[in-house]
Amino acid sequence: MKPLNSQKNVQYQKRYHQSIRQFDAFQAVRLRQEFYGQLPLVELGRLTEGLPPQQGEVAWHVRGAEGPRGESLLHVHVQATPTVTCQRCLEPFQWPVDTQTVLQLVASDAELGADEPLAEDELESGYDKVVGSHRFDLQGEIENELILAMPYIPKHDTCPGGAGQAEPDEVAPDRQRPFAGLAQLRGRLQKK
């Protein structure tokens, strides 16, 4: 994964997964730093729980920035191809994920504003608010982004071997519909 921004004043540092559990998010914003690396999918327990055995890695890229109103922002880009199970044919297959989000760092839970309605300019900004810290769990945030990008019910576009091809909405023309006669009967009763 290539860095999103190649300005001369940006510092590039490769941080491996051992240090991203204690990531200094506010320093990354203040210094406008960029970090990137790879992380084995098997180390993301919340993501992989209930999934088939995983191979491969998640590539991640994080860039600290300041927003137009002085907000502390982290631009997070995550790419991975976790293995999921098709719910039609029950065969494992890879689900490509390439997601980007902008997180606004706030200093405390009170600033998350869960009980306050969002102002119009906050709605337009599109930022997700998270509590930042000098020991921010970046690995947990990377895992969150992957979890949010995963399908609730994964399925092939076209299952191999033709298993489970018909969508629930599609009905073969020769198949009887048990309640089709009710619509006709209802129409007759309303005419009387």
The pLDDT tens digits for 7-50 are 333 333 444 434 788 889 999 999 999 999 999 999 999 999 99
Question: Would 103 be classed as within a structural domain?
Answer: yes
The pair phi, psi for residue 102, each rounded to 5°, is -120, 125
State the DSSP string of 31-99: TT-EEEEEEEGGG-HHHHTTSPP--SEEEEEEEEEE-TTS-EEEEEEEEE--EEE-TTT--EEE--EEE
Question: Would 117 be classed as within a structural domain?
Answer: yes
Better-predicted residue by pLDDT, 18 or 136: 136
State yes or no: pLDDT of 74 exceeds 70.
yes
Residue 5 is predicted with a pLDDT of 41
Contacts for 14 with CB less than 8 Å, ≥ 6 apart: 35, 36, 37
State yes or no: pLDDT of 51 exceeds 80.
yes
Question: Would 99 be classed as within a structural domain?
Answer: yes
pLDDT class of 161 with cuts at 50, 70, 90? confident
Residue 69 is predicted with a pLDDT of 87
Question: Would 4 be classed as within a structural domain?
Answer: no
Q: Which domain holds residue 146?
A: 12-191
- 21 three-class SS: helix
Above pLDDT 70, what percent of the chain? 67
State yes or no: pLDDT of 150 exceeds 70.
yes
| pLDDT mean over 56-75 | 93
Contact 51, 80 (CB under 8 A): no
Residue 107 is predicted with a pLDDT of 85
What does the block give as tokens for 107? 């200093």
Give the integer Cα–Cα distance in Å for 141 and 132: 11
Question: Would 49 be classed as within a structural domain?
Answer: yes
| pLDDT mean over 176-190 | 65
Give the integer Cα–Cα distance in Å for 104 and 128: 6
pLDDT digits (tens, 9 = 90+) for 75-109: 999 999 999 999 999 999 999 999 999 999 998 88
Number of domains in the chain: 1
- 13 three-class SS: strand
Q: Is 140 exposed, middle or buried (0-12, 13-18, 19+ CB in 10 A)?
A: middle
Question: Would 5 be classed as within a structural domain?
Answer: no
Question: Would 123 be classed as within a structural domain?
Answer: yes
Q: What is the mean pLDDT of the chain?
A: 79
